[in-house]
Chains A and B, each alone.
Chain A
């Protein structure tokens, strides 16, 4: 048996050595913290020492204790809205632009470069920039609206509880629309010209070609875009922090799961400023479960689609 083991090590040992650095750093700084967060969510305690075991009390508090419940459900609802706006507006625009850019015309590389440009910038920078553009008194948007006589349209975009979340979501869509665009574009360019040419010869309209031929072939890309949008936006923090602060102003109307997590588990609520790490870990764990559920549904349905093909 020892002989056997030795032989195996001589054969496979080198691969283990090659894998070791990547595995160690991934285990210690990613996998273990993610898993240990679940354990921590069962504890409570002030500051950096959540040492008192409380079982599921943190979760029970989040769902039933009025102090936590309101904030938690509010953040969850806002996160769903934030995600839905990206899913619908950003991805439809992306599909539309990709379809235009997949045609052969002069300047298409120029447009492609420009549409993607905002996505290279830091979310924080674009978020701050938008707060200036949306400034109710001096910002370019309201100045322009007033200049063309639409005074009543000039709104306090980030100061109104009913408008702020939608406004911030659209600013974020502005930044990220290039992402689905390039992904869909890559998918569209992968469709063979012969199929499209054949359809054209048969007299199909471009509308028809898009929905009956291109879109069904794009389905795997649609799945990838949907899951990326889901994971990224259920985890969004920077844009809210930049445009509405860590408390999701005004009146928590833009508070997302990530800002709620940050305030609770890391920064600590004002004025005490002491983080409740156990509760933070519980929020992270719930976010984790939501993400995993979405990913598993996606994996399951994309596998089913493959079987059909």
Chain B
């Protein structure tokens, strides 16, 4: 790299890094300031440090419940996505027949069609199943939504595993179920991590389905709670910013810890295709 190239690269990237980080920085520092200081000192570190916003939001907003609900929904959905997805992927990769090709295409078609377009039917279905207003209405929808990308990534991965491994186990008389559990799942681990990260972000951040399915206080997720609290606190900036920070900080910490896997996970789905 020549000197001018280097200068250009660093300055262009630094400008965007600033643009990307600056709003997040103001969000977090200002959530620790009283309203007055937010306007007098909008960009610096807090001088009159306060936790008033967080206290108010946490106590009034039942944020603990929102977090627990979101964690339940995300964890249960992810576990089911990975279990159902890897079972199906193993079958699709190993079963050579016309039906398996057709099923694969049927699953993959879901990559391009947003499940939201079926919302009206889903609302009626949840009413029929008596699940509306509970977190259980979200889980099956998220699992269904996660199937296409998971089957896409996992099937490609199983197909790339060396054939001899399965053949040797077969000769030893192992059942397909045992091969799946003892050989396929351990080998799939990196691909499973990709699938988990990809789906986790979508599920954790989803706002549409909680908005449509859930009204009850005790079933709200973080995204839904944030939207209702933010509406109330629109003019109280300390509280408004505390609300947003509470939703943003856990994800940011997780991202900083796992950024490499995050980026790998997001590219794996799209670039291989």
Contacts and interface: CB of A to CB of B under 8 A. Distances in A.
To the question of whether A and B form a pair in one complex, the answer is yes
B76 interface: no
Given A30-B147, A186-B267, A40 B23 contact: no
**B interface secondary structure, majority:** helix
Contact of B262 (A105, A120, A183): A120
A39 to B, nearest CB: 9
B147 A26 contact: yes
A28 B17 contact: no
Contact of A123 (B39, B119, B207): B207
A117 B24 contact: yes
A277 B175 CA distance: 49
Contacts of A40: 120-121
B252 A221 contact: no
A238 interface: yes
B145 interface: yes
B91 interface: yes
A33 B118 contact: yes
B44 interface: no
B252 A124 contact: no
Interface in B58-93: 80, 83-85, 87-88, 90-92
A127 B47 CA distance: 27
B137 to A, nearest CB: 10
Nearest to B175: A14
Interface string B107-146: 1001011111111111111010000000000001101110
Pick from B1, B112, B120 the residue with the most CB of A within 10 Å.
Answer: B120
A85 interface: no
Contacts of B94: 15
Interface stretch (B48-56, B160-168, B237-245): B237-245
Interface string A241-268: 1100000000000000010010001100
Interface stretch (A53-61, A74-82, A227-235): A227-235
Given A19-B103, A237-B208, A122 B247 contact: yes
Contact of A120 (B39, B124, B140, B255): B255
A186 B271 contact: yes
B88 A22 contact: yes
B95 A122 contact: no
Interface in A261-309: 261, 265-266, 277, 280-281, 284-285, 287-288, 291-292, 295
Contact of A117 (B21, B103, B115): B21
Contacts of B252: 117, 120-121
Interface string A165-206: 000000000100111001101110010000000000000001
Interface residues of B, number: 96
Pick from A21, A125, A140, A292 the residue with the most CB of B within 10 Å.
Answer: A125
Given A124-B227, A133-B23, A182-B263, A113 B256 contact: yes
Given A140-B42, A237-B208, A132 B270 contact: no
A26 B146 CA distance: 9
Interface in B188-210: 201, 204-205, 207-208
State which size class the interface on A falls in: 35 or more
A114 B204 CA distance: 20
Interface string B146-183: 01100100000000000000000000000111001000
B45 interface: no
B216 interface: no
B26 A138 contact: no
Pick from A33, A48, A224, A280 the residue with the most CB of B within 10 Å.
Answer: A33
A86 to B, nearest CB: 16
B186 interface: no
A226 to B, nearest CB: 11
Given A116-B259, A125-B248, A140-B42, 8 more contacts: A19-B87, A30-B110, A103-B5, A114-B21, A122-B204, A179-B266, A185-B267, A266-B120
A206 B273 CA distance: 28
A129 interface: yes
Contacts of A224: 270-271, 273
Nearest to A24: B84
A9 interface: no
Nearest to B116: A235
A96 B15 CA distance: 13
B237 A132 contact: yes
A129 B254 CA distance: 20
